[in-house]
Amino acid sequence: MEERDKFNFAAAAKLSLFALLMFGFGFAMVPLYYKFCEATGINNLLAPAEPPQSAPAIARKVRVEFDTNSRAEVLMQPSVRAIREAQTGETYSVIYTLANKSGRRLVGQAVPSYAPARAGKWFGKIQCFCFDKLTLSAGETRQSPVVFVVDENLPEDIAAIALSYTFFEVEGAQ
């Protein structure tokens, strides 16, 4: 084998190993994302929040607003746009209507986000359609509750929380 052939073989082996490692890294990203979310408490979709066990010394009122977006042909509509005076420590329920406006079956998941972003730490969802993947038949309309509680330890500088859901279609789940 010539020197150049050895060099080409070594380069091809290194590139193949690199490609294999990148492929493995791509598969590891999903579990790593869930572990990161679990460790930081951000967008923990896998476990519902526990309702508070003890009442704090002082409860207060906070405005909670609801918003939706979709990356698929699913219309999500909350039963209310805002709860003007949600009491911290109390449990609330908002019904969302989800409607598949496409002519085909859709599988997807709603992903929550909060504004301000740090408010998610004190916004506990006890029951939510965002915990699981959803399968909606063509033209299907469904109502799903979101049961939540705003933690009493919410910082005083947060007077309003916006809960927004974005529905993403899960590719390849047909």
What pLDDT digit, counting tens, does each position of 55-86 carry?
544 778 999 999 998 777 888 999 998 888 89
> From CA 27, how far away is CA 86, in angstroms rounded?
41
Q: What pTM does this model have? A: 0.66
Residue 87's pLDDT is 92
Q: Which residues, in sequence order, are CB contacts of 77 under 8 Å at separation 6+?
A: 68, 96, 97, 99
pLDDT of residue 140 exceeding 90: yes
DSSP 105: -
The answer to whether 150 and 54 are in contact (CB under 8 A) is: no
The answer to whether 72 and 168 are in contact (CB under 8 A) is: yes
DSSP bridge pairs for 163: 66, 114
Q: Which residue has the tokens 């590719």?
A: 171
Percent of all residues in the chain with a pLDDT value above 90, rounded to a whole number: 45
What is the arithmetic mean of pLDDT over 143-157? 92
Residue 162's pLDDT is 94
What is the arithmetic mean of pLDDT over 9-22? 88
Residue 43's pLDDT is 64
- Per the prediction, the chain carries an average pLDDT of 85
What is each CA distance from 135 to 61, 79, 85, 92, 123, in whole angstroms? 36, 21, 34, 26, 26
pLDDT of residue 174 exceeding 70: no
